[in-house]
Amino acid sequence: MIRENSSTAAEAPAIGPFLPTEGIHNLRDYGGYAVPGEGRVQTGVLFRSGQHMEASDADLETLDRLDIRTIIDLRGASERAGFPCRRHPRFAAEVIAYEGETSNSPPHEGGGGQLVMTPQKARERMLAVYTRMPVNPAMIAMFTRYFAALDERDGGSLVHCFAGKDRTGIAASLLLHVLGVHRDDVVAEFLRTNDAPSRHVLERQSLPRMQEHYGTIEPEALHNLMGVLPEYIETYFAEVTRDHGSLDAYLATRLGVDEARKERLRARLVA
């Protein structure tokens, strides 16, 4: 079946979404997707990534050239303290962050006690993350602030967490949905994390702590922890729909994204 007003992952911006980096995982532009009415989500204004603690000087120059005015840091207070972001000397963006913790024992921290991390256990652990996220008060607060910032602030924005795939992946997915992007393309953008050329950066930053808890982690289990699966985002959507009837109802009642805000966001971010 042919659907209208949609782009596939391969069709979104021809130059490719990933920006070359040395110490930042998964830095990419998440614009470029088609919306109804022949428009597209703007490129060059919406960026996402993992954390910036190991950003090289070249990485900081790359970020500086993007003219990012707002950073939404979805990490909790202990993550920010343990992995402080490097900043360019000219850094002047507003950083929006949560005062407490936003995730209970995220995978990169290697928590959850001593166990053998099989592929099934890794998958179950990640599914638990996505099951909790819709009702996590900290994430509700941060997603609300994310949408408010994009509605109220001019210029480019960057949303990130530690790995730039779970909390960040849902933030980007929610925004693309609000802008009218087809669900297939929302999922394709979520899964694009698996194509990031900087996986070695994430492994360097998190694998040693994970191995302290789990020992050697076989490749499939590691992929389930460090990558994303379609069922992760589908679990999030299913939880929201079960509790609220629809994703749009959740956006309106929990995240402050009513029809008026949707229209303003579309006017700002769709060309």
pLDDT for position 112: 54
pLDDT for position 116: 84
pLDDT for position 115: 75
pLDDT tens digits along 5-54 = 333 333 433 346 999 999 999 999 999 999 999 899 999 999 999 999 99
Identify whether 63 is part of a domain.
Answer: yes
Q: Can you read off the two tokens belonging to residue 62? A: 């790359």
Q: Which domain holds residue 198?
A: 28-269
Instruction: CATH number of the domain at 65, please.
Output: 3.90.190.10
Identify whether 12 is part of a domain.
Answer: no
Identify whether 20 is part of a domain.
Answer: no
pLDDT for position 259: 98
pLDDT tens digits along 202-217 = 999 999 988 888 888 9
Identify whether 5 is part of a domain.
Answer: no
Domain count, the chain: 1
Residues of the chain short of pLDDT 70, as ranges, are: 1-16, 105-114
Distance CA(195)–CA(243), nearest Å, equals 32
Residue type, 22: E
218 to each of 117, 120, 121, 211, 271, how far by Cα in Å? 8, 11, 12, 11, 44
Identify whether 17 is part of a domain.
Answer: no
Q: Can you read off the two tokens belonging to residue 198? A: 């900087």
Q: Taking the CB of residue 15, how many other CB atoms lie within 10 A of it?
A: 8
Residue type, 185: D
Distance CA(202)–CA(184), nearest Å, equals 27
Q: Can you read off the two tokens belonging to residue 57? A: 């000087």
Distance CA(196)–CA(28), nearest Å, equals 9
pLDDT for position 212: 86
Query: What phi and psi values does residue 60 have, to the nearest 5 degrees?
Result: -65, -35
Beta bridge mates, 270: 41
What does the DSSP assignment read for the chain?
---SS---TTTS-TT-SBPP-SS-SS-EE----B-TTS-BBPSSSEEEES--TT--HHHHHHHHHTTEEEEEE-S-HHHHHHSPPP--TT---EEEE-SS--SSS-GGGT-S-S----HHHHHHHHHHHHHHGGG-HHHHHHHHHHHHHHHH--SEEEEE-SSSSSHHHHHHHHHHHHHT--HHHHHHHHHGGGG-TTHHHHHHHHHHHHHHHHSS--HHHHHHHHS--HHHHHHHHHHHHHHHSSHHHHHHHHS---HHHHHHHHHHHB-
If you compute the radius of gyration of the chain from its CA atoms, what whole number of angstroms results? 18
Identify whether 100 is part of a domain.
Answer: yes
pLDDT for position 235: 98
Identify whether 15 is part of a domain.
Answer: no
Identify whether 13 is part of a domain.
Answer: no
Give the residue among 237, 158, 205 at the shortest CA–CA distance from 23. Answer: 205
Q: Taking the CB of residue 123, how many other CB atoms lie within 10 A of it?
A: 18
Rounded to two decimals, the pTM is: 0.92
